[in-house]
Amino acid sequence: MSTIWIVIIIALVLGIIASNIMLLKHTAKMDFKAKDKNNDKTDDN
């Protein structure tokens, strides 16, 4: 395996790890609210 392929694989792995860390930081800031079941309007005939 040539050196260029090793560098490409390492860069890809580091990019995936960095993107996953950024995604975790972004989702940690989100506010997840549960839906209120009483607000669901259904027609029961």
Give me the half-sphere count of Cα atoms (radius 13 Å) on the Cβ side of residue 31. Answer: 1
pLDDT of residue 37: 66
pLDDT at residue 41 is higher than 70: no
Sign of CA dihedral 9, 11, 14, 16: negative
Residue 20: is its pLDDT beyond 80? yes
Considering the entire predicted model, what is its pTM? 0.58
Helices (H), the chain: 3-29
The answer on pLDDT for 44 being more than 70 is no
